[in-house]
Structure 1
Amino acid sequence: MSTTVSDALLEPTRRPAAVAALTEVIDAEVADKSGLGGAAVKAGYAAAKRLGGDFVASATDRLLPQFASALDPFWATKGEQPFGAHLASQPEAAADALLAVTDAKAANTSHGAAAKVYGSLRGKAKEHVVAALPRLGTAVERVVA
Structure 2
Amino acid sequence: MTIKSRKAKMGLSDILLNENNRESFVDDCVKLIDKQVAAAPGLGGLALKAAYSTVKGIRADYCAQVVDQLLPEISSALDPIWTEAVNHGNPVEYLAQRKPIVADELLQISDKKAEKSTRAVVKGAYAKLRPSAKTYVEKGVPDLAEIINKYNNAG
TM range (shorter): over 0.9
Q: What is the letter of the counterpart of residue 38 of structure 2?
A: A
Tell me by how many angstroms 1:32 deviates.
1.1
| Aligned equivalents of 1:118, 1:77: Cα separation in 2 | 31
Number of equivalences = 144
More helix by share: 2
Structure showing greater radius of gyration is 2
- In structure 1, the partner of 2:54 is 47
- In structure 1, the partner of 2:82 is 75
Unaligned runs of 5+ residues in structure 1 are: none
TM-score by length of 1: 0.93
Moved over 4 A (4+): none
| Aligned equivalents of 1:144, 1:29: Cα separation in 2 | 23
- In structure 2, the partner of 1:95 is 103
- The two structures, once aligned, show a CA RMSD in angstroms of 1.2
Unaligned runs of 5+ residues in structure 2 are: 1-6
| Aligned equivalents of 2:96, 2:81: Cα separation in 1 | 11
Q: What is the letter of the counterpart of residue 66 of structure 2?
A: A
Q: What is the letter of the counterpart of residue 80 of structure 1?
A: G
Tell me by how many angstroms 1:81 deviates.
0.9
SS of the residue corresponding to residue 110 of structure 1 reads: coil
User: 1:25-49 deviations in whole A, cap 9, x for unaligned?
Assistant: 1011111111111111111111111
- Identity among equivalent pairs (%): 34
User: 1:96-117 deviations in whole A, cap 9, x for unaligned?
Assistant: 1110100011111112211111
| Aligned equivalents of 1:82, 1:32: Cα separation in 2 | 25
Q: Is the 8 A contact 2:82 2:91 kept in 1?
A: no
TM-score by length of 2: 0.88
| Aligned equivalents of 1:49, 1:55: Cα separation in 2 | 6
- In structure 2, the partner of 1:26 is 33
